[in-house]
Structure 1
């Protein structure tokens, strides 16, 4: 194995070296977690690279924590590769991850008000530059926010991607703080990260939320603010009443038509984050997959139109307004997402397995742990 690369085995592969020389090497290099190729089981490797430098409008962040989201596991297995390749983000080996929390090391030209030493959190777009699973990364300063005092980096890193996706979903469904009070909202997949945040925010806004989850997660959903819980393992979704003002599907595309049917006439809107766009393109290619997706979308839109509701598919993209609201909620102590596992990127396979096996709690990588191995 060549110097600078390490297979994930849980043991250091480095030879003893002079500590002063090793320290200088660490300061001049970064470590990235690479997904080598689309495969199941997932193939990961850490690799030393030159320390990145911030360009105009960018900051260099020393990453203290970053999360492994379900989309990272799916992408590591090849999901979305055909479409994302057109954005320069689907070519393997690739660096996954979108969330980070850490400390600014340096700033590029035109950056204000950030300074080296500032503790921050933020988002990395899905694109050519790679993701957040690294010890250091450069990121657009507009996608960085001040870390909330008293909240550990491992906790902060669980939020940006999931909260941003949820915020886009709420906006797509037409739900906001001003109109949510007493609205009946149906949340499918309520025990996942998106669902948990939805329950907390909607409850804080005064909405009446029905959470769809499994028997094992009923108490969790109630504790997070659900007004009612529908046990999907014991009750058919078709038995839900048709009185909901809005619907959020974070669970399964196969339930889409049934859930839209639970809306009342004159409902606000319905949003899904589990649409088949990327999967259709993976299976059929760009043109055929896009056409298949258009047919799927139009079929569901017609069902929503019959209820008088707006209909949206959500695709993640960084949103500055969402990051502002995330900081607002966290500063108030109004959000929680439990962390199930925190590991060094040298043991990242444990974090990916945690997510792949749908275990409770977020999976967090601690990239700076790589410097001690």
Structure 2
């Protein structure tokens, strides 16, 4: 086992593949470099990019895949306590409770007892949340925040429609759309999520298993936040008004020429969420005030990361899945 001070437990993969490649084992403990912080991880969030990375980015064309090679520790979202400081770090002290999306869109290594991170990727953990809840926030919350608050001119009234409204990004998007200035928010999800979404302030709920969103909300949306995407994304076009905007969270085929003909705008390129402690601090203030909240669908102990990935692959989550690292 070696010198315990220099090692830690982590979940690592030695080959790309299914959830079974995730192995709980002893690995070297990282050391913070200049401008970095060592965090003792209490909880780590699970995100779709973790699943893509575990397969070796199999769904991405070979020429565009990140050059990651095993052995790898996955995970960008963590909440924990500052354990040590690299040279030049003055923003944090050992003992500070912090959370963050680490090194994204690079490799984060959060499924571990300790992780290093650039100091400016962290924000103070919201006092209103425990570490498990805080670890559920960063990527999903920052995606919704950066797309809706950072990038968008404030919505002057109007209606926002969120497709996949009960999921990680979706459940933040329905709350932040309101803060961005939407007068009405329509949430699209399966029927079992109706009460949950109405509790988050959705004005109209569409159960897509009964009625297609494009039918139930025809010409209703000034803004469509689509957290589903995929080859059938264009089926939502009839729900968007002329002059409306589509914000895709994942790649989708929106029949761009047809959309343009309908007077619907799409971004020129896919937006990518980025690590940003300042943005996360703004989100933390909203969480502390109770203006937005986070929902944790399930918690798995770190050694059971493979089971957590199996659950993630089934989809239909309400909010987020989290790994508990330090009880």
How many residue pairs get aligned? The number is: 322
1:8-157 equivalences under 5 Å are 25-79=3-57, 87-88=66-67, 90-126=68-104, 130-157=108-135
SS in structure 2 at match of 1:96 = coil
Residue in structure 1 matching 2:143, options 161, 165, 182: 165
SS in structure 2 at match of 1:94 = coil
Moved more, 62-71 or 32-41: 32-41
Q: Distance in 1 between matches of 2:61 and 2:73?
A: 17
Q: Report the counterpart of residue 284 of structure 1 in structure 2.
A: none
Q: Distance in 1 between matches of 2:115 and 2:42?
A: 11
Contact 1:341 1:354 in 2 (8 A): no
1:279-294 equivalences under 5 Å are none
SS in structure 2 at match of 1:257 = helix
Coordinate RMSD, CA, aligned: 2.6
Residue in structure 1 matching 2:152, options 166, 174, 182: 174
What's the offset of the Cα at 1:133? Answer: 0.9
Contact 1:173 1:310 in 2 (8 A): no
Moved more, 46-55 or 189-198: 46-55
What's the offset of the Cα at 1:365? Answer: 1.2
Residue in structure 2 matching 1:300, options 252, 256, 275: 256
Contact 2:148 2:180 in 1 (8 A): no
Q: Report the counterpart of residue 190 of structure 1 in structure 2.
A: 165
Contact 1:148 1:331 in 2 (8 A): yes
Q: Report the counterpart of residue 262 of structure 1 in structure 2.
A: 239
Deviations 1:325-361 (A, max 9, x none): 2122122122222223323211222322222223445
Q: Distance in 1 between matches of 2:318 and 2:197?
A: 13
Moved more, 299-308 or 311-320: 299-308
Can you give the 5+ residue segments of structure 2 that lack an aligned partner in the other structure? none
Over 3 Å counting, the alpha-carbon distance change for 1:265 and 1:172 in structure 2 is farther
Moved more, 50-59 or 329-338: 329-338
**Post-superposition, which runs of at least 4 consecutive aligned residues in structure 1 deviate over 6 A?**
none
Contact 1:213 1:230 in 2 (8 A): yes
- Answering whether residue 228 of structure 2 is matched by residue 251 of structure 1, we say yes
Q: Distance in 1 between matches of 2:221 and 2:294?
A: 26
Can you give the 5+ residue segments of structure 1 that lack an aligned partner in the other structure? 5-24, 277-295
TM-score calculated relative to the size of structure 2: 0.88
What's the offset of the Cα at 1:185? Answer: 0.8
Residue in structure 2 matching 1:366, options 318, 324, 327: 324
Moved more, 142-151 or 121-130: 121-130
TM-score calculated relative to the size of structure 1: 0.78
Q: Distance in 1 between matches of 2:246 and 2:173?
A: 14
